[in-house]
Structure 1
Amino acid sequence: MPWLIQAAVGLVVLVLVAFLLGNLVRNLTQAGLLLTWSWLGNPAGFEIAETAIPFDAAMPYWRALLAGLANTLKVVLAGLVGATVLGTLVGTASFSTNGLLRRLARVYVELIRNIPLLLQLVFWYFVVFLALPNGAAALQLPGVVLAKAGLYLSWFDPAWQWQGPQLINGVWTAPLRITVEFAALLTGLVIYTGAFIAEVVRGGVASVAKGQWEAANSLGFSPLQTLTRIVLPQALRVIVPGLNSQYISLAKSSSLAVACGYTDLYSVAETTLNQTGRAVEVVVILLGSYLVIDLVISGLMNGLNGLVQLRER
């Protein structure tokens, strides 16, 4: 009997999918927009302000979408690293012997988690980064200049000599420049996701038996040594599954880059859709791209989860 119910449900789902696909094909045919991918080879005709790979307006649409995908991957990878570091530091700070540090960590988590990410991105972009001064009035730190035109960092020049930011005719130049759009998006994603990761780390550390702390203390370990050598390795089996969902959330949240004016995959796809009118194809590309990114993250984290789990002998 159970297999009959499953077969009936499966049949209903197949009929529903067939009906929706048939309806889609009929509507597209009537509108003269039958599915095609030939438009991907046409010149894009628009520029991309910031690209991780070479691109100009004469290149085809597929190259523009690839450039947008590269920009998305750049901010996702940087965000994963930054959020993990920040979340780990804040999560472990919850167990500090310093009462002020514990309270600051708690305030940060509760404040950031309860403010929508979109509002935070708007705040970082318009209130913080676009409010920075330019020229000689820019904020100057050792090896770093924060200006409205971007963030200028010390790095190696083409001759592999260490160079710092320089002000030439009122304009800052440096071997490495980060746009304010990328910086605002990355800052918002790191701070927002870091708050959730901090709770994951805190829960993982709390799952380790208190006797482990006491045993390490009796052996003369410092609190930092106890945390890094004894507690965190055991807490990983609880932390890693929680990180998986937070990493996937960060990847999906990167599509809010439009709030900061950063040209990511979604932004390029939107421009492509407006110019070509190929809504279905563009949406399929978007859905497929984010699905692949999330599946890759999930696969890697599941593999890591298998490595950190305790094994019975």
Structure 2
Amino acid sequence: MKIAVDAMGGDNAPKVIVEGIEQARDEWKDLEFVLYGKESEIKKYLQNDERIKIVHTDEEILGTDEPVRAIRTKKNASMVLAAKSVKDGENDALFSLGNTGALLASGIFIVGRIKQVARPALMPTLPVTNSTNGVNMLDVGANAEAKASYLQQWAIMGSIYAHDVKKIDQPRIALLNNGTEYDKGDTLHKEAYQLLKETEGINFIGNVESGDILAGVADVIVTDGFTGNAALKATEGTATILLKQLKDALLNNGIFTKMGAAIVSPSLKGMRKMFDTSQAGGAVLLGLKSPVIKAHGAADSKTVYYTVKQIYDMLTNDTINKANKYFEKMNAEK
């Protein structure tokens, strides 16, 4: 199994990428890696080139580049070359920490979508209060608008992913809505509810409100990309502010407060660990012919390692082909 890596994407490339890839290489002996980027920069951090190949290019896509224009004009960019290698069957998956929009465009226009999937969706893993598995939410930005049939397809793919990668026997699938009652929401959500309720092979548990995204009530939450992106950023922003305010309150209010902070420190570490999503890996662009994964631009080598684990599990379980077969069967029964 071979993974194409955009070695120049992200805030700390290629250092953290090379470090994480080497750790993953040493863990899984049946994995090979092809790193696309500036060879001299990559070799600065490469300790051992066993099962690691470098394809040199000086061109890269920046975070400030307009996504679609970038992949069309920067033909030799590390991300574009990596995506083309997957399209041509030279590699089995694509991994990048770079420009999110450009990776979405590379996945859709270069790697290509599954024939039966109308719109690919971006799916990260968020922390929950009562499980180490977290919750997967899709779509969080690839599609600002959606149809009920899109949500149905995303639920199916999310369920297959949760089963294969997270080892959950019957993943709980929920629809993000403005109430838990079956008749809540606009026309889209009412129609989607009925479709999901009637979809064979998934464990649909009904609606979930945004206040319960991190409560662990579901394993996969489906929503349109506009709502999902807004909910994701609101959740992440609130968590960041609360943790910062808590830290300031404990450390900047006198000696007695600091003594109290020392006492509760173990509990605070547990809270911080809950919001550490590095072990969840990256966000998956589901609905493509091959695995395409986006990790956060500020990710460290540990996140890179766990993202490779994600890809490894998807390849080992043939997750993409399972989705293909499901949709082929569904279309044949219509």
Given the two structures, how large is their TM-score scaled by the length of structure 2? 0.26
Q: Which structure has greater helix proportion? A: 1
Q: Which structure has greater strand proportion? A: 2
Given the two structures, how large is their TM-score scaled by the length of structure 1? 0.27
Which structure is larger by alpha-carbon Rg, 1 or 2?
1
